[in-house]
Amino acid sequence: MENIPFERALVVSSDLRGYGQGTDKRHETMQKTFVDLHEAAAIQAGLDRGSWGIQQGGDGELAVLPASEPDPLVVDQYVRALHEELVRRNAPLAPEERFRLRVALAFGTAYPAANGYAGQAVVEATRLADWGPLKRLFGDSPEAHIVLVLSQRVFEDVVLQEHTSYAKDDFHPVMVQEKELSAPAWIWAPEITAAKLNRLPKKAPTEPGKGSTEKEIHLSQRAEVINNLNGPVRAREMNFGITHK
């Protein structure tokens, strides 16, 4: 029988807003700041970023974490450290120069492939971070330093089970429809008001000619598409696990 790769991992997709609007020198500054932010946050959270499998993308990255990195530390201390670093670095900057970050977390199939990473969680984390309505809302909210999107599984396993310092009500439920992904998710955006977040969809759209097929947010719908992402991959001492912590 052919040996088919199959690993499960926590996947983190993160992206700096406004990269495409900058000059070459601004791009250099943003790339360095992006790396510095993540390295500082990992140290503060007690995580070993050097063990992560990282696919770099200039203004963003896709990180596939080994089983040795506890999910609650990533969801809680790491994300909060990113937020704190952003607030600190942005304090002396003009609004148009501030660094603002979207972060998405998903858990599921994720493993090295010929040109990056493949797997369900890779697709889900990427689509959650790239979700159009959230990107537009974030763009219209200059007061926001960070926005975090959790997949349904990560929210249920880590936040609802009280493995973090978050409360359930700290998150806003949404229904994400982005390319091949249609799935519920949960948003943490400490500087964005509930009134603004309420503009985001909470139901899946109805397909024309199929009547009322909307799914409420509490239903779990997993992404089944397996895809590769392009770009260089850095993986040092990578050790995937197949057990969800």
238 within domain boundaries: no
Number of domains present in the structure of the chain = 1
DSSP string covering 37-73: HHHHHHHHHT--GGGSEEEE-SSEEEEEE-TTS-HHH
Name residues whose C-beta falls within 8 Å of residue 138's C-beta, 6 or more positions apart in sequence. 17, 100, 102, 144, 147, 189, 192
Please determine, for residue 242, whether its predicted confidence score (pLDDT) is greater than 90. no
- Tokens for 63? 């990180």
233 within domain boundaries: no
142 within domain boundaries: yes
245 within domain boundaries: no
| Strand-strand pairing, 101-109 and 146-151 | parallel
190 within domain boundaries: yes
Please determine, for residue 1, whether its predicted confidence score (pLDDT) is greater than 50. no
Q: What is the DSSP letter of 89?
A: H
pLDDT digits (tens, 9 = 90+) for 73-88: 999 999 999 999 999 9
CATH code, domain with 77: 3.30.70.1230
Name residues whose C-beta falls within 8 Å of residue 169's C-beta, 6 or more positions apart in sequence. none
- The answer for 151, left when phi > 0, alpha when psi is -120 to 50, beta otherwise, is beta
Among residues 126, 99, 122, the alpha carbon closest in space to that of 110 is found at 122
Please determine, for residue 172, whether its predicted confidence score (pLDDT) is greater than 90. yes
Beta-bridged to residue 116, according to DSSP, are 113
Q: What is the DSSP letter of 241?
A: B
d(CA 62, CA 117): 9
231 within domain boundaries: no
Range of the structural domain that residue 197 is part of: 11-226
Does residue 210 or residue 15 have the better pLDDT?
Answer: 15
- pTM value is 0.82
128 within domain boundaries: yes
Q: What is the mean pLDDT of residues 118-130?
A: 95
156 within domain boundaries: yes
